Amino acid sequence: MDNIAGKKPALLWAVHLSVVLLVFLWVVPTFGLLVSSFRTGDQISSSGWWRSVQTQESQLPAIRIRGEAVERDGSFVIAGDLFENTGAEISRWGINSRDTEAFAAGETADLGDGQSLTVQADGFFELTSETSLEGARLPRVFVTASTPPDFTLQNYNNVLFSPLAGQSIGQAFLNTLTVAIPATIIPILVAAFAAYALAWMDFPGRALLVAFVVGLLVVPLQLALIPLLQFHNWIGIGKGYLGIWLAHTGFGLPLAVYLLRNYMVGLPRDIIESAKVDGASDFEIFVRIILPLSFPALASFAIFQFLWTWNDLLVALVFLGTGNDQQVLTGNLVNLMGSRGGDWEILATAAFISIAVPLIVFFAMQKYLVRGLLAGSVK
């Protein structure tokens, strides 16, 4: 297809530029999440992620002086570094929340009661007191400093190895795969046969059945939860993998049938007719011709169904249960956030961990999305 754009370099550049712009718009939000997953919760809620890669000057939250006092020349001294990581450079500092920029780096502040405090530009401080500092409330320091970029892997450590969720993420990962793989393959298979019948077989009521399928596309999932769980309890499968496979199959079928039927209708009629003339049965036509030709459609539906089951939380909670041994990845990650759920850094990290597998699936399936097989069979 390069023959269209290839002749006009200007147009090709326009295409490149438009795609860059489009990709940029689509990636920026996710990129923000990625950057945020390497920041602490305090960093996320105090400055924009786009500022995290540059050295920035800002007022840091108050830092309380800590440390062991040593006696020196008859006075008590606590010395140390305000920052755990080096690299920050203090410009102004203060000891009162009403005047946070009272002193320049290197100046000494009189705290009263015979105490004085010196803070250097690199964060080194020295608190001197005439009386013992034992049990005394140590002062806070407000600093205005330029801090270099600071990223942490702690969030990933927390999400991957935290004992908080009651079980390992590995088990949850396995559970999710156990749910997602059968829940992807079974509906495709069932839907493919139905789609073939709706597309290429002649029987009364076909149009109505298509309408039936389209109508069911719109059924809100929430409607079906209670009746179906009731049904599962009634037939004795209760909560478990079998139930969730069936549920995902049922919920995924309308879209599968609809997409596949529309794809199959578009397949060239003459191939199928000639196969029929050659004496092939419908079953043979389906397996030998339709399935290979429909591979792009099957692959794209497989991607979507897999994504959907992978990221699903609601269906898993209802049909699989919430016990630690049955928890799926999304459930596990959501539980990490605690009862009030506000740890943005955990959320961000969790989202990136759970995105990995769907992206791999997409990359792996991408080459099947091309209709190359069709071209091969026609020529």
Window 51 to 80, contacts with another protein (CB under 8 A)? 51, 58-62, 64
Window 113 to 142, contacts with another protein (CB under 8 A)? 137, 140, 142
Least Cβ distance, residue 104 to another protein (angstroms): 17
Least Cβ distance, residue 30 to another protein (angstroms): 6
Q: Does 224 bind another protein (CB under 8 A)?
A: yes
Q: Does 154 bind another protein (CB under 8 A)?
A: no
Q: Does 40 bind another protein (CB under 8 A)?
A: yes
Q: CB–CB of 315/251 below 8 Å?
A: yes
Q: CB–CB of 256/191 below 8 Å?
A: yes
Q: Does 269 bind another protein (CB under 8 A)?
A: no
Identify the CA nearest to 125 among candidates 177, 90, 152. 90
State which residue, 153 or 314, has the beta carbon closest to another protein: 314
State which residue, 118 or 167, has the beta carbon closest to another protein: 167
Q: CB–CB of 291/365 below 8 Å?
A: no
Q: In angstroms, rounded to a whole number, what is the distance separating the alpha carbons of residues 164 and 340?
A: 14
Least Cβ distance, residue 343 to another protein (angstroms): 8
For residue 7, which phi and psi values (nearest 5 degrees)?
-75, -20
- 194, two tokens: 């139905």
- Residues contacting 56, CB < 8 A, separation 6+: 47, 146, 147
Window 233 to 262, contacts with another protein (CB under 8 A)? 233-234, 236-242, 245-247, 249-251, 253-255, 257-259, 262
Window 310 to 349, contacts with another protein (CB under 8 A)? 310-311, 313-314, 317-318, 321-327, 330-331, 333-342, 344, 347-348
Q: Candidates 219, 273, 288, 292: give the one binding another protein (CB under 8 A).
A: 219
DSSP letter string over 30-83? Answer: HHHHHHHTTS-HHHHHHS-GGGTTS-EEEEPPPEE-----EEETTEEEEEEES-
Q: In angstroms, rounded to a whole number, what is the distance separating the alpha carbons of residues 203 and 197?
A: 9
70-72/75-81 β-pairing: antiparallel
Q: Candidates 5, 77, 111, 275: give the one binding another protein (CB under 8 A).
A: 5
Q: Does 307 bind another protein (CB under 8 A)?
A: yes
Q: Does 18 bind another protein (CB under 8 A)?
A: yes
Q: Candidates 135, 218, 277, 278: give the one binding another protein (CB under 8 A).
A: 218
Angle at 346 between CA 343 and CA 347, to 5 degrees: 85
Q: Candidates 32, 67, 80, 87: give the one binding another protein (CB under 8 A).
A: 32
Least Cβ distance, residue 59 to another protein (angstroms): 4
Q: Candidates 68, 220, 277, 278: give the one binding another protein (CB under 8 A).
A: 220
State which residue, 75 or 262, has the beta carbon closest to another protein: 262
Identify the CA nearest to 352 among candidates 170, 181, 155. 155
Q: In angstroms, rounded to a whole number, what is the distance separating the alpha carbons of residues 307 and 327?
A: 17
Residues 83-102 as x/- pattern, contact with another protein by CB under 8 A: -------------xxx-x--
Window 282 to 301, contacts with another protein (CB under 8 A)? 282-283, 286, 296-297, 300
